Structure 1
Amino acid sequence: MKQPIRTLANSDDIIALLAHEGDLSPAQIAEQLDLPRPTVYRLLDGLSSIDFTEPVRDSKTRLSLRWLRMADAAREAMREWRGADQVLTDLVERTGQTAYITVPRDGEAVCVAWEQGNTIGVVETKPGRSLSMHAGAAGRVVLAYGTDLEGYLESNPKRQRFNDRTLLTDDELRADVELTRQRGYAISEGDITDGITAIAVPVRGSKGKIAGSLTVSGLDEHFAGREDAILEVLQDAAARLGNLAQVSN
C-alpha cells in the first residue's frame, strides 16, 4: 500500500510545482523535488496519459487545459462564492484596482476568484494559484484570521524572501498578525513585488468565522492618498461577500 501512496504523493508534488513554476523540464522537476529522473519521466507519462499534463517546446511539460475545467467545477461547488463575480466587478469599478478572493487551504492562501483592474498585467494572481501566508496582504490576512499561527510557524520554518521588505522571522509575523487583528486589515507595500500595493480584509461567513480574504492590488501610485477610501469600499464589498457566504450555509 505504501508504494501507491508514495506515487500519488510524488504526482501531487509535480502538479503543485508545475502550477507554481509553469513550464519545466523533467530534469528541472527532478532537481527541485529531489526525485530520480526515471521516476519523474514515469510519473509524467502517467499524468499525460490521463490528460493532466502536456508536452511543450524545449522538452518541457505544463499542466493541461483540463485543469481549467476542473477549477471551474471546483469553484462552482463552493456555494459560498456564488454571486462573488458581481461583487468583484463592482469593486473593480469603484477602485480601478485588481480584486481577488483567497481561502485558506493546507497552509496556503488559494485564489478562488479574480477580476482584472484597469492596469493590465500588473497583478498576476489568478484562480487556483496558491499564495504565501507570510507575504502579501491576502496571505497575511488569512494567516491572521484563518490559521493556527503557531502551527504555521512550526510547519513552515523556511519562508521565501521576495525582497528586503518580506516578513520572515517568527517575531515579525507574530507582530504583524497582532497588528492585522487590531486594525482589521493588512496592507502590503511592495513586500512581494516592488511598486505594488495591496490591501486585504477578512470575509466572515456564518457565526463570524472567516471564509476567506478579499484583496485589491495595483500600482503604488494608484493607492497613494487613497488608502482610506479604497479600504472603505473594500470593507463594504467584504460585507456583501459575507452575506453571500451566510446565505449559502
Structure 2
Amino acid sequence: MSQSERSGPFVESVLRAVRLLECFRTGEPELTLSELVRRSGYSKSTAHRLLSTLQVAGWLERTPDNRFRLTIRPFQTGSVLVESLDVTRVAPPLLTRLSIESGQTTYLVVAAGSDAVCLERVTVGARIRVLELEIGGSQPLHVGGAPRALLAFDEEALLPAVLRTGLPGRTPTTITTEDALRADLAATRARGYAVSDGDSTVGVAALGAPVFGHGERVVGAVSLGGIREDVLPPRPEHVTALLRTASELSARLGSRTSAAALTAASLTTT
C-alpha cells in the first residue's frame, strides 16, 4: 500500500503485526520465524519483535520445536462477527412476535466498545411507535434496557471501558455514578432483566434481557420499549414474553442456558 493510498492516521507497527497474523493460512497453523520472514517481507529482527509482542498480547504462542502458532484469541474475536451475523438472521421473526405480544417496539442490540449498537428494530405491533434507537444507531451501555442488560450479564468484559468513557447523564434519571451503576447491574442479574425508566428519554421506558451464544457468551440483548405508562411497572405477561424471546434466540445461537431458569425469572417483577 503506497502512502497515497492511506488516508488518516495509522500506527505502522500495528499494521505490520496484523500482516504477520495474515501469514497463517488454512492447513498451516504453525510457522517458523524464517517462514514468517519470507512471507511478510520483514527483516528477521522486525519480525521477531512483532512476534514477541503478539505473544505477550496472547495472539500467538511458541511451540516446543520453536514454531509460532495462533492461539484461540483470533477465533474468539472472529466469533463476535459470526454471532452478530447469525443473530440478525434469526432474530427478526422473534422480535416481530414480541412486538405483537407486548404491543411495544422491540430492539436487538450488540456491544461495540462502551456503546450498544442497534441491529434490529420492529414496530409492527407497537400501539405507539417510539423510535428510541434507529437501526445502526448507538447509545452508551449504561443507558436503556437492552444496553444495561448487555452490561449486567457481561460486566467483567464491558464495564471497564464504560467507566473509562464516563457516565454522562441524558435525563434526571440516568445513572451517573459507578456505585449506582454496579448496584443496578447486580439487581438486573438477580431479576433476570433490565429496567429502563426514562434514563434515555423522559417518558420512555424499556425492559431488556440478554442473549447468549456458544459457550454461554453474551452476544447481544433484546428489549421492548414504549411510553412509560405502557411498560412500567413491568407486567408479568411482558416479562414472560421478553424472556421467552431471549431464551429462544439464545437457543438458536447455540446456548445451553436453561429456558426453565429464564421462565422462573419472569415470575419476579420489580
The normalised TM-score by structure 1 is 0.65
Aligned residue in 2 for 1:12: none
Would you say how many aligned residue pairs link Structure 1 and Structure 2?
Answer: 181
- Alignment CA distance shift 1:195-1:154 (3 Å): closer
Aligned residue in 1 for 2:249: 241
Pairing 1:106-117 to 2, within 5 Å after superposition:
106-116=113-123, 117=125
Secondary structure at the residue paired with 1:82? helix
Work out the percentage of aligned pairs sharing the same amino acid: 30
Deviation at 1:124, TM superposition (A): 3.0
Amino acid at match of 1:80: V
Pairing 1:126-205 to 2, within 5 Å after superposition:
126-147=134-155, 148-157=157-166, 159-205=167-213
**1:79 aligned to 2:86?**
yes
Moved over 6 A (4+): 74-77
Deviation at 1:152, TM superposition (A): 2.3
Deviation at 1:122, TM superposition (A): 1.9
CA contact 2:128–2:226 (8 Å) conserved in 1:
no
CA contact 1:103–1:110 (8 Å) conserved in 2:
yes
Secondary structure at the residue paired with 1:246? coil
Aligned residue in 1 for 2:237: 229
**1:217 aligned to 2:216?**
no
CA contact 2:111–2:150 (8 Å) conserved in 1:
yes
Amino acid at match of 2:110: V
Deviation at 1:202, TM superposition (A): 0.6
Deviation at 1:153, TM superposition (A): 4.3
Q: Write the deviation string for residues 123-149 of structure 1: whole angstroms up to 9, x where unpaired.
A: 331221112111111111111123435
- Alignment CA distance shift 1:151-1:76 (3 Å): closer
CA contact 1:104–1:212 (8 Å) conserved in 2:
yes
Deviation at 1:79, TM superposition (A): 2.0
CA contact 1:187–1:198 (8 Å) conserved in 2:
yes
Secondary structure at the residue paired with 2:189? helix
The normalised TM-score by structure 2 is 0.60
Aligned residue in 1 for 2:95: 88
Instruction: Tell me whether 203-212 or 118-127 shows the greater mean CA deviation.
Output: 118-127
Deviation at 1:103, TM superposition (A): 0.7
Distance in 2 separating the partners of 1:185 and 1:138: 9
Q: Write the deviation string for residues 166-209 of structure 1: whole angstroms up to 9, x where unpaired.
A: 10111111111111111111101111111111000111112221
CA contact 1:146–1:212 (8 Å) conserved in 2:
no
The structure whose Rg is larger is: 2
Aligned residue in 1 for 2:133: 125
Distance in 1 separating the partners of 2:186 and 2:234: 24
Deviation at 1:161, TM superposition (A): 1.1
Using CA pairs under 8 Å that are at least 6 residues apart, name the structure with larger relative contact order, 1 or 2.
1
Distance in 2 separating the partners of 1:150 and 1:76: 21
Distance in 1 separating the partners of 2:101 and 2:87: 23
Secondary structure at the residue paired with 2:253? helix
Deviation at 1:99, TM superposition (A): 0.4
Distance in 1 separating the partners of 2:118 and 2:161: 19
- Alignment CA distance shift 1:103-1:153 (3 Å): closer
Q: Write the deviation string for residues 100-128 of structure 1: whole angstroms up to 9, x where unpaired.
A: 11111122111111101424442331221
Q: Write the deviation string for residues 197-223 of structure 1: whole angstroms up to 9, x where unpaired.
A: 100011111222111101000111212
Where structure 1 has 5 or more consecutive residues not aligned to the other structure, the ranges are 10-73
Deviation at 1:93, TM superposition (A): 0.9
Instruction: Tell me whether 199-208 or 219-228 shows the greater mean CA deviation.
Output: 219-228
